[in-house]
Structure 1
Amino acid sequence: MKHNRCSEKFIALLVVMTVLLIPSRLFAEEPSYSTSLGFEFTTGKYGTGIKTDAIFMPFTVAVYPTERLDFSLQIPYVYQSSSAVVAGEFRGMQPQSMGMGSQSVLAAMGSMGSGTGGPGPRTTASAANVDKSQNGLGDITFRAGYIVVPEGDYLPGIRPNFFVKFPTADKNKFLGTGAFDGGLAVELFKWFGYWLTIGELGYAVQGKSSVLAVKNYLYYNAGVGYQIGERLRPMLMLKGSTPPVEGASAQLEARLRVKYQITEHTGIDGYVSKGINTSSPDYGTGLAFCLDF
């Protein structure tokens, strides 16, 4: 109970800090909006000995009051072929905007943070139910970020951000942990001609769960991309975390990611991935369609 209360206080503190630290003058500009619909597939055993295929379909709405400030809400549908792991923890692409001209480069690249929290050892599903497939609403996630230091000639852009995950997934179906989670991270980005380098380091606090023996963890990602013309940007990324579950190993996976701007307001974002450590998916792929207003 003490761990759960600490997690709830941490998440409440994130929300209060956001309200207090964002000046009202930031909302004076005309806001812009974006929506995206994604499809992700992952497969692996995650150290459980049971293969689990999972589908994650996130619908994301993002608001950009300025080029430096962003908010987003993600509502996912999830499917898993077994109950050996928590399917909602497979999330990872979470695209937001395809606006390649915006200062919010990492917001445009999509948040890569909380998706590193993975399933690790088996859930509490019984032997009779572990092979049963499940599907339904996943955990809804709210995110906010602000570029405190815009990119300069020599210094990288710096964007602190946080997320709060609401336990809307059915824990009895093992589609979620049944607890609130939250996290803080700092992102860096820098252009070198046509080359883009990005990185993020964050810390996630997980609420007490009766489904998995979860624990707090560090997460990170780093990548390099190359801008080809005005529309195409391939990227190579590494993302991982310390063990998010008791008895699990650290997570690490490599991703080849491609973003293509179809028009000024529409784009697609896709990736293929290969897990490196046991607790990561063996393979994964994803595709999202994005619309900016």
Structure 2
Amino acid sequence: MLTANSLLASRLARTGRSLSWREHAASVACCHAAQLRNLFRMRDRQASEALGDDAAWIKVPTPTVSHPKHQAWEQFVRHFISAAIATLAIASPAGAADQIGDQSTVTRRTPMGTGAELSTGIEYQDGTFGTAQKVETTSIPTNLRVATGRFQFTATLPYLRIDAPANVVGGGGGLFGLPIIVDPSQPATRVRREGLGDLRLGASYLVPLSGVGLTLMGQVKLPTASQRKKLGTGKPDYMMGAELAKSFGRFTPFADLSYTIAGDPQGFDLRNAISVRAGVAGQIAAGLRGHISYDYAQSLSRLAPDQEQISTGIDAGLTNRLSLGLYGSAGLSQVAPDLGAGLQLGVRLF
């Protein structure tokens, strides 16, 4: 019975055709799989015997088998993608770049002008957030963004599901995704609760400057979440901030600074806090924009340390009206989420 190599060699001998450079390159790459080295040698020998010395160099492309080093690299890539496929957790308490990032004129794909976009998605975060138990937060936000000239207005109302100890309060992270507030008066028994989160209303203005982009931003958190279910603090928060950016070709370095004025719920010792982030955004391709940033936020609660994390994401235009956002974050401090993951699908209304 003829082997696959001898059949190929016979066909090449009849047609007088030599392997193309692509076929040859693929063959050489396959030879790096140690598990198939002996098989390669045997097939090469068979091909040489069938066609003579002139065909001794023929290598038949063979499916590769992952080397252990390759498998480790593939596992790293899968973990990185899992972290990147995430929304910025617009209404959850642990997404450090989300609240101010949704008003950013740098990280968003939609250009300045007049228009409106309605979006929704699903977001997941987990971590201990400085507690002794794991805290899991799932959010389904509904977002409305309206732009007219240099002004932009945003509104976000999420549906939250929190699986955490009873002394963990959701929605208590202020407007920049600050740490979850822990209520020491409540038992640490694990409780799952869900319901509407706090409504967030924001506005931003792109200052007309030459050579540099300066955006002034403000946001208010209205206490629409249930205080009884520990989905929110029951008090409004206020934020003011600014974003500075400078474009260099396809890439735009940027930096944000914001100040959150926390509400004063009974039983909590809260303080006002400063948040900063710095990163770079880039036009990856037509209709595709990405960014990566380092985020730092002071804790509103004196019971929790400050938060540090790395955030990344892309915003892609699927059609003239549909867009897809994929975002992720990885915590660098004890109170930051270990992992944030999700997606956001938007439709342009006009």
- Cα offsets for 1:202-250 (capped at 9, x unmatched): 1000111236432210012222122122122222111221121112111
Q: 2: distance between equivalents of 1:89 and 1:275?
A: 18
Q: 1: distance between equivalents of 2:207 and 2:184?
A: 40
Task: Find the counterpart in structure 1 of residue 215 from structure 2.
Answer: 159
State the secondary structure of the residue aligned to 1:174. Answer: coil
State the secondary structure of the residue aligned to 2:284. Answer: coil
Q: Which amino acid aligns with 2:201?
A: F
Q: 2: distance between equivalents of 1:145 and 1:123?
A: 37
8 Å contact from structure 1 (residues 117, 241) kept in 2: yes
Task: Find the counterpart in structure 2 of residue 142 from structure 1.
Answer: 201
Q: Which amino acid aligns with 1:136?
A: G
Task: Find the counterpart in structure 2 of residue 264 from structure 1.
Answer: 320
Q: 2:157 aligns with which of 75, 84, 94?
A: 75
Task: Find the counterpart in structure 2 of residue 115 from structure 1.
Answer: 176
Task: Find the counterpart in structure 2 of residue 222 from structure 1.
Answer: 278
Q: 2: distance between equivalents of 1:124 and 1:289?
A: 39
Residue segments in structure 1 that go unaligned for 5+ positions in a row? 1-29, 91-112
Deviating above 6 A after TM superposition, structure 1's stretches of 4 or more consecutive aligned residues are none
- Cα offsets for 1:239-269 (capped at 9, x unmatched): 2211211121111110221221112222111
Distance change (3 Å), C-alpha of 1:125 and 1:149: farther
Q: 2:147 aligns with which of 64, 73, 79?
A: 64
Distance change (3 Å), C-alpha of 1:115 and 1:280: same
Q: 2: distance between equivalents of 1:224 and 1:123?
A: 39
- Cα offsets for 1:81-139 (capped at 9, x unmatched): 0234233247xxxxxxxxxxxxxxxxxxxxxx923222154454324xx3110000000
State the Cα distance separating 1:65 from its structure 2 match: 2.3
Using structure 1 for the length normalisation, give the TM-score: 0.75
Q: Does 1:174 align with 2:230?
A: yes
Q: Does 1:186 align with 2:242?
A: yes
Q: Which amino acid aligns with 1:56?
A: S
The worse-fitting range, judged by mean Cα deviation, of 160-169 and 116-125 is 116-125
State the secondary structure of the residue aligned to 2:152. Answer: strand
State the Cα distance separating 1:184 from its structure 2 match: 0.4
**Fraction of identical pairs, as percent:** 28
The worse-fitting range, judged by mean Cα deviation, of 117-126 and 242-251 is 117-126
Q: Does 1:44 align with 2:127?
A: yes
Using structure 2 for the length normalisation, give the TM-score: 0.64
Distance change (3 Å), C-alpha of 1:211 and 1:80: farther
Task: Find the counterpart in structure 2 of residue 204 from structure 1.
Answer: 260
Distance change (3 Å), C-alpha of 1:211 and 1:46: farther
8 Å contact from structure 1 (residues 46, 120) kept in 2: no
Q: Which amino acid aligns with 2:180?
A: P
Distance change (3 Å), C-alpha of 1:31 and 1:249: same
Q: Does 1:125 align with 2:207?
A: no
Task: Find the counterpart in structure 1 of residue 299 from structure 2.
Answer: 243
Q: 2: distance between equivalents of 1:274 and 1:168?
A: 28
Q: Which amino acid aligns with 1:114?
A: L
Q: 2: distance between equivalents of 1:238 and 1:41?
A: 20
Q: 1:232 aligns with which of 261, 285, 288?
A: 288
State the secondary structure of the residue aligned to 1:81. Answer: strand
Q: 2: distance between equivalents of 1:211 and 1:284?
A: 29
Q: Which amino acid aligns with 1:125?
A: Q
State the Cα distance separating 1:186 from its structure 2 match: 0.6
State the secondary structure of the residue aligned to 2:168. Answer: coil
State the secondary structure of the residue aligned to 2:334. Answer: coil
Distance change (3 Å), C-alpha of 1:287 and 1:139: same
State the Cα distance separating 1:270 from its structure 2 match: 1.1
Q: Which amino acid aligns with 2:195?
A: G
8 Å contact from structure 1 (residues 116, 251) kept in 2: no
8 Å contact from structure 2 (residues 145, 152) kept in 1: yes
